[in-house]
Amino acid sequence: MKDRIGLAFFTFAAVVSALAAWEHPALLAWLAAFHNGILAALYAQRKHALKYDRTGLWLGLLAAMLPLATAYPEEMPFPLMITGILGYAMIFWSLISLGDRFGIAPADRGLIVRGPYRWVRHPMYLGELVLRAALVAASTQMVLSAGLLIALAVIQILRALREERIISGYPAYASQVTYRLVPGVW
């Protein structure tokens, strides 16, 4: 049942984001629709979890819905557009590396140590935060957008900490990949 609900959620998000991108075409908006489509496809074929964190599910759902409160601007300054694209590139690379181990809730579907996971332990969260920071900087509602970014950062940090407790073999991985989110910082 959980798998069908998750698949329905991401399929709905893909359709809604594609309609929004159609109505207000912008590169980052189309990348959002593509991103949601990938999430739905990965969710449909994901591996069964050995361990599952129900509280983390609610954090994951919040993290998935929070960005829906902000719009993608139709025009952005070039440096911010490049920053947003780099954020999406990190997200897509992380998703490709995760493959059938993707999930919205912290769960043990096996440890991934390839791709960007060789340099930071939570590269998808890093990509999401880089993307959202670019959107905040381009926003006309900067205070609201900055508040949502801060909330998303707190949620992603909580998710990361929960994942680290549930995935088998994580202590050995953490000793090899020192930083959780930002190389040289944390």
pTM of the model: 0.86
Q: Are 4 and 51 in contact (CB under 8 A)?
A: no
> Is 7 within a domain?
no
> Is 21 within a domain?
no
| Three-state SS sequence of 11-29 | HHHHHHHHHHHHHCCCHHH
Q: Which residues are bridge partners to 107 per DSSP? A: 52
Q: d(Cα 13, Cα 132) in Å, to the nearest integer?
A: 17
Confidence category of residue 15, pLDDT binned at 50, 70, 90: very high
Domain that residue 115 falls in? 51-176
| Residue pLDDT, tens place only, 62-118 | 787 777 666 677 788 999 999 999 999 999 999 999 988 888 778 888 899 999 999
Q: Would the pLDDT of 159 be above 80? A: yes
65 torsion bin: left (phi>0), alpha (psi -120 to 50), beta (else) = alpha
**Number of domains composing the chain:** 1
